[in-house]
Amino acid sequence: MPDQVTLTVHSSIAAIPAAEWDACAGDVNPTLSHTFLNAMEESGSATARTGWAPQHLSVADGKGRVVGIVPLYLKSHSYGEYVFDYGWADAYERAGGSYYPKALAAVPFTPVPGPRLLIAPDAPADTKATLIAGLVEFTRQRGISSLHINFPEDADAEALFEAGFLKRMGQQFHWANDGYKDFDDYLAALNSRKRKAVKKERREALQPGLEIDVLTGADLQPRHWDAFYRFYLATSDRKWGSAYLNRKFFALIGERMADKVVLVMARRGQDYVAGAFNILGRETIYGRNWGSHGDYKMLHFECCYYRAIEFAIDHGLKRVEAGAQGPHKLQRGYLPVPTYSAHYIPDPGFRRAVAQFLAREREMVEEKIEHLAEYSPFRQVGGERAED
């Protein structure tokens, strides 16, 4: 007989040993690491008080060793998710239901695709299926409206869809490293008009006498975090009215995972005026937050997009994932790619309505991705090299 397994719901990530969590999460994507997610909780950024009550699901083998995990939260709102379901909540509540709290498997405030069913390398073959069954049972036992898994990697998404979860498609813009030797080599792959536009933007970004510092690891000091946090607050206040992440969160990751952080900071003399916060994975640099004091022409593109591309080329990374939204990224070499979310809805009538909506939405997203791809800035094979 196979070993019995134990499913447990944890109200804090601290209840799961870091070594066991990280053995399941792997080392490819730091946003799933125990350190990163613990900083969310320890700082107070993602807690029950802020509407993110941790309910992490684990499965342990017969010897008590954790072999599978889902980062899971009970949400009392839909903020900070980047997969928008406000219309679903409104419709369900107008029909007399209570949409919140709902269950969400995701990385708080972080629209980065990655594994959501975290499996240890030597886990039993059915561990993923056990986690999915555990998620469904959790939703049923709590009597909640719905369960949502945001930005799962393709393998996890397919397993969830095969298990009957509803499929939602979204879109992001990612840059792919085609073996470029340096930034000029990348520029040579663009068509002539876009190449000239990029060069012009980069010149204009630094014309006010600005310089750029790209900082990671031991180079990161509290003064850099202080400056960046001021920019983050200023931009968050303009966009959302309040910031999701607090200063303690940035202090904790600065202390505990500085080698997985890249800050791109713009300064005039000794004074920093803008900055971009990135997470560094094994193969990818993930763009997360941008902020500035003042309006600087083209500086956002330089710090968030072009410096990330340079960093990726210099460090042999495969991709830059620049986060949610932003068709303006296309002309700077970031091409549209599909993203997914998976949704379990127990109520049959509500499920049918959402399924119909998602079918229509998928058609629109697929058409949009296909349309945007026609505007790729890259030269066509055998194309317009003669213009150069």
pLDDT tens, position by position, 206-262: 988 999 999 999 999 999 999 999 999 988 655 555 789 999 999 999 999 999 999
| Amino acid letter for position 176 | A
H-state helical runs in 8-165: 18-25, 34-42, 86-94, 127-142, 154-162
More confident residue, 9 or 326: 9
Do residues 286 and 306 lie in contact, with contact meaning Cβ atoms separated by under 8 Å? no
Q: Provide the pairing of β-strand 56-60 with 6-10.
A: antiparallel
The dihedral over CA atoms of 156, 160, 166, 167, expressed in degrees to the nearest 10, equals 30
More confident residue, 174 or 236: 174
CATH topology agreement for domains 6-170+338-372 and 178-317 = yes
pLDDT of residue 326: 76
What percent of the chain stands above pLDDT 90? 90
The string of pLDDT tens digits covering residues 19-71 is 999 999 999 999 999 999 999 999 999 999 999 999 999 999 999 999 999 99
pLDDT over threshold 70, residue 107: yes
**Cα–Cα distance for residue pair 55/49, rounded to 1 Å:** 14
The string of pLDDT tens digits covering residues 351-373 is 999 999 999 999 999 999 999 98
CATH 3.40.630.30 fits 6-170+338-372, yes or no: yes
Smallest CA-to-CA distance from 162 within 141, 142, 183, 133 is with: 133
Do residues 105 and 72 lie in contact, with contact meaning Cβ atoms separated by under 8 Å? yes
The string of pLDDT tens digits covering residues 263-315 is 999 999 999 999 999 999 999 999 999 999 888 999 999 999 999 999 999 99
* Annotated domain spans of the chain: 6-170+338-372, 178-317
CATH 3.60.21.10 fits 178-317, yes or no: no
Mean pLDDT score, 139-156 = 98
Mean pLDDT of the chain: 94
When pLDDT is cut at 50, 70 and 90, the band that residue 386 belongs to is: very low
What percent of the chain stands above pLDDT 70? 95
